[in-house]
Structure 1
C-alpha cells in the first residue's frame, strides 16, 4: 500500500510503525473471509482491509478522528483472525491499537458513550469496585426492561451468584509439591478474580502438584488490556508498569522461570509489553524481559508434562480456542495435547477461527454483534455433541456460557480434576463419554 506521510509525521514512533504496517498490505482481501464483523455485517468498512484504509486516511490527514472511523474501529473485535490469514504478514494488531489511541485522543464521543466507557475503564480493572458493581447489578436486575441495550447486556453478563474473594489472590508463595522443577509468577488478573476466583485456585493446585513453585507478586494486577483496547494508553501503560516492576523485583530476588498467565487475552498483552515500551529507555529493557518470560499456563504444562491422570473420564470436550490464544499468541497444540493426555476426547469446533463475541469489553459496548457471534459459536459448539466445553479465557467462558446449558469451564480446571483436583462445577459424573 502506498503511503503519504510527512517527515514530521514519521518522527512519531507510533506513526512510523504504522506506516511500515500499512505498506505491507497488498489489498488482497483474504482477511475478509475470516473477519467476524464482516461475516455478520457484510460491510467492507467493517473488515480489516476497510479499517486499514480508514486508519491510513486518518493518520495521513491528521486532525480529529472522524466519527465514521471511530464507529468502524469500535466494531473491531481485535480477534486478530486477519493476522493468521494474511499472506503478507500485516501486523494488524499494532495498527488498530494505534488507530484506537488516536481516536481516543482526538475524537469527542457523545456524552453517554464517554460515560459508559469511562465507567468500564474505571471499574473492570479494579476487583473491589467490580465486585461492588456486580452486587449493584444484582439489585438492578428487576429494572432491566427499562434500561438501555448496553446496560441490559451488562446485567445479562453479571453472574447471578458471586463467589467470595479467594485467599490465593493475595501476595504470597505456594510451595511446589515434591522437588521444585520451576519457579513462576502467576498473574492473578482483575475481572477474573471476581467472576471466577476458582480459576486461579485450580491453576495453583495444578502447578504445585507438578513441582512448580508459584508466586503471587506484590503490586501485580490488571495487565492493562481492557483499557488498552479502548485506546486509553496512559491507563494501560500504568497497569503494565506496575506488573513489570512487581515481576522484575521477583525475578531479581528469587528468580523466575516464567510468568504464567491463565487468561489468554491477558497473555497476548503481556507478551506485547516489549513493543509497548520499545521507545522508553527507562522501561524498554525490563518490559522486554517480562514479555520473554510470559507463558500461557498450557504452554508451561505442555513443557513439564502432565502426571498420569487419576480421573480419566473419557468425556468428550469441545475445545474452544480463544482468539487471543490461537491468533494473538499462536498457541494451538498444547491445550489439545494436555486435554487428550488427561483422558478427555477432544472435539474440534466447526469454524473455530471465528470469535465468540466476548473480546474484553466488546460484548458490553457492541452487544448486538456480540450476541449474533455468540449464537453462531454456540451452534457450532453444540454440533460437536460434546459433554463439556473447555476454553482458556474467562471472557469466552462467560460469553459462551450464557448461550448453552453445557458446562463451560477453563482448561486448567479439567487438567486439575484429571490429576487429583475437585470436579469443576456443573460437570456431572458419568456425563456422555466419547
Structure 2
C-alpha cells in the first residue's frame, strides 16, 4: 500500500524496514479469515489488516491513542496471518515496531505497568519462579481461583539425566518457566537423545531467551538477554556443539529471530546469524534420527496441539505429528488446528478474557475425537490448556520417552 512516513518516523532505527513491510501489504484481507481475535470480536481493527492500518497512520503522523494501543495489545502475535498472506507481509516485525512507537507515546495505567514489570521480572528468573511454583502448590487450596487456574495441576519431578558420553554434542536451552512448570521435559529430551547417541550439554550461563521482555515492549532488555545467551553458547559452538536445541517452541522461534533483531549490531550481528542457523526445535533433530529403532510402544490416543510458534513461527507444522506416527502413536483429528490456543506468552495474563475464550474453543477442537491425552510442544500452551482441568496436557517428548522400553 502507498505509504509516506512522517519526518519523525523516518528517524526511527527501523524506519526503512517498517516502510518496506507496509508497502508489501495489498490490503486484501485474507489474513482476517484466520485471525483468532478478529473471529472472536468481529472488529476490523482487531484483525491484522486493521492493525497494519493503525500502525501506518501512526507512522505517517497521526496521534497514537489508548485505543490504538488496545487494538495492538489484543494481537496474539500468533503469526497465523503470515502463513495465510499471499504477499508475504512480515507482520510480526511491523507489529514490534508499531507497539514500540505507540507505547512511547501512550503511557500505560499504573496497574498495567506493574503487571508487565512483574511478569518480566518473575518469568526470567528461573530459580525464583520455581520456588514460587513450589510454594503455590502447597498453598493451592488457599489461593484465589484466578491464581489457582495459573498453577499446574501436578508437577512431575525431573528424572535423572544421562552423563555426557557421546562424540556428538548439542546444547539445550533450559528455559525460564519450564524448569518450574514441567521440570521433566528437558530431562526426557536428554534421555531420548542419549539413546540415539547424542549427548546434551546444559549451559547454565544461558538464561531466558528474551522473548518475554521483547514482547512486553522492553525490547532492549530482550536483546540484552539475547546477547548474553550468545556469549554463553559461543565457546561451546567453537568447540564443536552441532546445534542449540529448544523444547519450548516459543523460545525456539525467538532464538531463530536473533539474526534479524541483531542484524545491525556490529559486534553481535555475525554471531547472531550463526546462533540462529544452529537453533533447532527438538523435533528437527529427532526427525532425522532412527527413532523407530527405540521401540516405542503405546496404545494411547493422542491429540496434538501444534503451537503457533511451531507451525507459523518456525514453519514446522506437521513435523511432530509425523514423528509420533512414525513410532506408532495413534493421533486423533483436530479441526482448525491452525488456530491459537490463547496462551501466546504472557497473553493469558494480560488479556485473560480473550485467552480463556480461545482456550475453551481450542479444547473443544482437541477433544472432539476423544483423545486420552493432549500433547504439545510449548510450555505456555501446555499450562494454559491444562489449566481448564479437562483432558491432561503434556509435552510430547515426555509421552514419547514414557513409551520406550
Band of TM-score, shorter chain: over 0.9
Mean Cα displacement is larger for which, 294-303 or 212-221? 212-221
> How far off its partner does 1:160 sit?
5.0
What corresponds to 1:58 in structure 2?
Answer: 58
Q: Displacement of 1:7 after TM fit?
A: 6.2
Q: 1:62 to 1:371 in 2, by over 3 A?
A: same
Residues 293-325 of structure 1: per-residue CA shift (max 9 Å, x gap): 001000110012314243412322111110000
Partner of 1:279: 264
Ranges in structure 1 where 5+ consecutive residues have no aligned partner: 146-151, 421-434
2:36 equivalent to 1:47: no
1:12 Cα offset (Å):
3.4
Cα offset, 1:11, TM superposition: 4.9
Deviates more, 1:366-375 or 1:327-336: 327-336
Confirm whether residue 158 of structure 1 aligns to residue 151 of structure 2: yes
> Match of 2:187, SS?
helix
What are the superposed Cα offsets for residues 339-370 of structure 1, whole Å, 9 maximum, x if unpaired?
01221012231000110000110001101001
1:160 and 1:337 map into 2 onto residues whose CA distance is 29
Moved more, 85-94 or 242-251: 242-251
Contact 1:104-1:232 at 8 Å conserved across structures: no
1:68 aligns with 67
SS at match of 1:157: coil
SS of corresponding position for 2:271 = helix
* TM-score, normalised relative to structure 1: 0.88
Change (3 A) 1:9 1:167: farther
Distance 1:201 1:82 in 2: 34
Q: Are the counterparts in 2 of residues 104 and 230 from structure 1 also a CA contact under 8 Å?
A: no
Distance 1:167 1:416, change over 3 A: closer
Q: Deviations over 1:224-282 (max 9, x none)?
A: 11111111112101111111111112111x21211111100001000000011011101
CA spacing shift, 1:7–1:113, aligned 2, 3 Å = closer
The answer for the alignment partner of 2:204 in structure 1 is 218
Q: Corresponding residue for 1:77?
A: 76
Contact 1:174 1:215 in 2 (8 A): no
Worse overlay, 42-51 or 383-392: 383-392
CA distance in 2, matches of 1:35, 1:273: 26
Measure how far apart 1:208 and its partner are: 1.1
CA drift at 1:404: 4.8
1:352 paired residue number = 337
Moved more, 401-410 or 270-279: 401-410
Cα pair 2:35 2:48 within 8 Å, conserved = yes
Which residue of the other structure, out of 376, 382, 394, is the alignment partner of 2:361?
A: 376
- State how far apart, in whole Å, the 1-side matches of 2:343 and 2:196 are: 32
CA 1:342–1:369 in 2, change beyond 3 Å: closer, same or farther? same
Bigger mean CA offset, 93-102 vs 114-123: 93-102
Matches within 5 A, 1:308-387: 308-387=293-372
Q: Deviations over 1:31-87 (max 9, x none)?
A: 111000011111111100011011111222177x42111101111100000000000
1:399 counterpart SS class: helix
| Cα distance change on mapping 1:163 and 1:308 into 2, 3 Å | closer
Match of 1:232 in 2: 218
Task: Report how far residue 400 of structure 1 moved.
Answer: 1.2
Q: Closer, same or farther in 2 for the Cα pair 1:160/1:387, shift >3 Å?
A: closer
- 158-167 or 368-377, which deviates more: 158-167
Whether contact under 8 Å (2:374, 2:391) holds in the other structure is: yes
Where 2:14 maps in the other structure, the secondary structure is helix
1:165 CA drift (Å): 7.8
Does the residue aligned with 2:169 lie in a helix, a strand or coil? Answer: strand
CA change 1:141–1:237 in 2 (3 A) is: farther
Q: Deviation of residue 184 (structure 1)? A: 0.8
What does 1:47-126 correspond to in 2, within 5 Å?
Answer: 47-61=47-61, 65-126=64-125
1:201 matched to which residue of 2? 187
Greater shift in the superposed pair: 359-368 or 410-419: 410-419
- Shift of residue 223 of structure 1? 0.4
Distance 1:273 1:127 in 2: 21
Greater mean deviation of Cα atoms: 345-354 or 128-137? 128-137
1:274–1:284 contact (8 Å) kept in structure 2 = yes
Offset, 1:132: 3.8
Output the TM-score relative to the length of structure 2: 0.94
The reply to whether residue 396 of structure 1 matches residue 378 of structure 2 is no
Name the count of aligned residue pairs: 404
Q: Indicate if the aligned counterparts of 2:302 and 2:332 stay in contact, CA closer than 8 A.
A: yes
Per the alignment, do residues 343 and 191 of structure 1 end up closer, same or farther by CA in structure 2, a change over 3 Å counting? same
